[in-house]
Amino acid sequence: MKITHSVSLSKHTSFRTGGNARFFVAVDSLDELKIVLARARSENLAYMILGEGTNVLASDEDFPGYVIRPMIRGVDFSDGIHIGINSDMSRGGIRGNEGEDGLVIAGAGEHWDDVVARTVSKNLSGLENLSSIPGSVGAAPVQNVGAYGVELKDVLEWVEVFDPKENATKILSCSDCRFGYRDSFFKSPAGRDLIIIRVAMKLIPNGRPNISYKDLANYFSADEGSPMKKSPTIAEVRKAVIQIRRVKLPDIKEYGTAGSFFKNLVVTDSKYEELAGKFPGLPSFPVEPVDSTALTAHGSKNGFKKIPLAWILDKVCKLNGTREGDVGVCETQPLALVNYGQATSAEVKNFAEKISDIVKEKTGLQIEWEVNLI
């Protein structure tokens, strides 16, 4: 474990912005994490947990404490094949039983897409639609990552966390995580201090991929005469998702970006009808009912619809490709903001607020950030 002094967060966030951390340290185990937290307490310094920094906008101000990056590794397939297991992964916490097909347990420091690739190589279905999402496994439950009709909550079994206040590990079930649209218990006051150690997901061996999302449905209906297009394999869906994302989203290797900066909109059925009257062609998607009491007379909806914000930013607000200095709206995916050069976090924040104001003026809707400000 190496503690580094005065480290620029711009080098550890995909937006390429941020001030200096007084101390920066990567921890490879729970024991190392406890040591750093104890040191921070003894020095009366704050700490912040930072994964791969792909869904954050770091302040331009310096952080006067410890920035801790969990690098706890290991991917455990409960079919008896164990890859990269270290002492922390096998220390006696909950594990899948041998032969319990489909359970995958990954350390928080694993790169998310590497884990997805491994599950696809084993023909385990459930994560293929979440291919190519940047970031670490530990960050995935915080955001309830989702794409192309699938969310992490659809497959998550449990999350192991360390509670600094109690100096103990805990297991949270999927229901304990209180998942919502890009939301979870980990964003609440009661859960934000918990540090994710491992994530367990239950996948389906040789399962049938979900290609109901429009982009995937269009991709696989391109050739009506091909049997492969009608029944794609898990690997073919992963390949399709990667290709679609490559075309639509800015490359984080080339530009500063956090992908989708804003959340899509969720409105009531009546609000949607009002908006559709003003903006003909406004698309929408049904929102799954939270519980049986939320069901309406429609039987399959809970009275809410999701509206793709990208459509509003493009068709209503005409913001595609808009740019101020080094920060702008991605031309191929308006939900994404891009740092084209040396934009500061303050400049990105101001630009995002201007976009919010324009949407509010044009539609009366208040939009929310998907990116976390730290």
Cβ atoms of 179 and 242 within 8 Å: the answer is no
Active-site annotation, residues: 182, 260, 370
Alpha carbons within 13 angstroms on the beta-carbon side of residue 166 total 9
Cβ atoms of 106 and 231 within 8 Å: the answer is no
- pLDDT of the residue at 303: 83
- pLDDT of the residue at 112: 98
Task: Give the C-alpha separation, 120 to 233, whole Å.
Answer: 10
- pLDDT of the residue at 152: 98
Q: Which stretches of the chain score pLDDT less than 70?
A: 79-100, 222-230, 288-302
Beta bridge partners of 338: 257, 328
Cβ atoms of 86 and 116 within 8 Å: the answer is no
Q: How far is CA 339 from CA 8, 172, 370, in A?
A: 17, 36, 16
Q: Rounded to the nearest 5 degrees, what angle is found at the Cα of 120, between the Cα atoms of 175 and 99?
A: 65
E-state strands within 168-296: 168-173, 195-202, 204-205, 256-260, 265-268, 285-286
- pLDDT of the residue at 285: 86
Extract the tokens encoding 196: 């994710």
- Of the candidates 164, 162, 171, 54, the one whose C-alpha atom is nearest the C-alpha of residue 111 is 54
* Nearby residues of 368 by Cβ (< 8 Å), 6 or more positions away: 262, 263
- pLDDT of the residue at 223: 56
CA–chain centroid gap for 199, Å, is 14
Task: Give the C-alpha separation, 100 to 77, whole Å.
Answer: 9
Positive or negative, the CA dihedral 315, 321, 323, 326 is positive
CA–chain centroid gap for 300, Å, is 27
Angle between helices 234-248 and 112-121 (to 10 degrees): 150
- pLDDT of the residue at 32: 98
